Amino acid sequence: MIKLIVGLGNPGRQYEKTRHNAGFLFVDALAQDCGSTFTQSPRFFGDLAECKVGSAKLLLLKPATFMNRSGQSVGALLKYYKLQPDQLLVVHDELDFNPGVVKLKKDGGHAGHNGLRDIIAHVGTKDFYRLRLGIGRPPAGKVVADFVLSSPSRQEADLLDAAIKTGLGFVPQLVAGEIDTVMNKINT
């Protein structure tokens, strides 16, 4: 059962609507749905919110350490609350999926995603869940870093919003521990 959802992104107004902040957009939408607000938490190097899903308490985290150092924030929170990696869901942008595609997986490498790389290093395992929100690949000749740190087109933003809504619809089942059911539905 999921007890912590971490949205990956970069802090600062200049990054708010970029492709790389898909994870922040997800947890922001979830907090809004729950009627929760994020507060700065220096202890966890990020912004933290608590959300009630059914009868369960769910923690939401937005690391304020920038993408490449997300593990510092995630590791500190897992240790403090004595959570296991398999109770963690990391929501992040995914280059390998077209905009609008959303998939859930457990385990696996970082596939070049520096946020995931740092979380794996700090947590000491890759045995956690990932909700991957498709942003597509940059056009030929465009640098990946420039692409992920830029805003999507209106059409791509609409598709990302749809993917976020799809993912949000599965949160109650994830919190209830129905992860295999969610994987079967969302990945087909």
Q: What is the pLDDT of residues 103-117, one digit of tens each?
A: 999 987 766 678 899
Strand partners, 137: none
Q: What is the pLDDT of residue 160?
A: 96
**Residue 68: partners with Cβ closer than 8 Å, 6 or more residues away:** 114, 115, 118
Torsion of CA 7, 13, 18, 20, to 10 degrees: -40
54 or 98: which carries more pLDDT confidence? Answer: 98
Q: What is the pLDDT of residue 78?
A: 96
Question: What integer pLDDT is reported at residue 112 of this predicted model?
Answer: 67
Query: Stretch 149-153: mean pLDDT, rounded?
Result: 94
Q: In this structure, which topology does domain 4-186 adopt according to CATH?
A: Rossmann fold (3.40.50)
Q: In this predicted model, which residue has the larger pLDDT, 112 or 187?
A: 187
Catalytic machinery residues = 20
Whole-number pLDDT of residue 69: 93
Distance CA 130, CA 3 (A): 13
Residues in the chain: 188
Q: What end-to-end distance do the CA atoms of the chain give, in Å? A: 21
Residues 6+ apart with CB under 8 A from 26: 5, 7, 91, 131, 133, 164, 167, 168
d(CA 42, CA 26): 22
Pick the more confident residue, 159 or 141: 159
DSSP annotation of 11 = -
The pLDDT-based confidence of 159 (bands split at 50, 70, 90) is very high
Residue 7, beta-bridge partner list: 91
For the CA atoms of 6, 152, 66, 129, the dihedral, rounded to the nearest 10 degrees, stands at 30
d(CA 146, CA 19): 10
Look at residues 55, 52, 59, 67 and name the one whose alpha carbon lies nearest to residue 22: 67
Distances (CA, A) of 18 to 45, 147, 149: 21, 9, 5
> Tens digits of per-residue pLDDT, 61-105?
999 998 999 999 999 999 999 999 999 999 999 999 999 999 999
Q: How far apart are CA 36 and CA 13, in angstroms?
A: 21
Its pTM stands at 0.95
Give the tens place of pLDDT for each residue, 8-52.
999 999 999 999 999 999 999 999 999 999 999 999 999 999 999
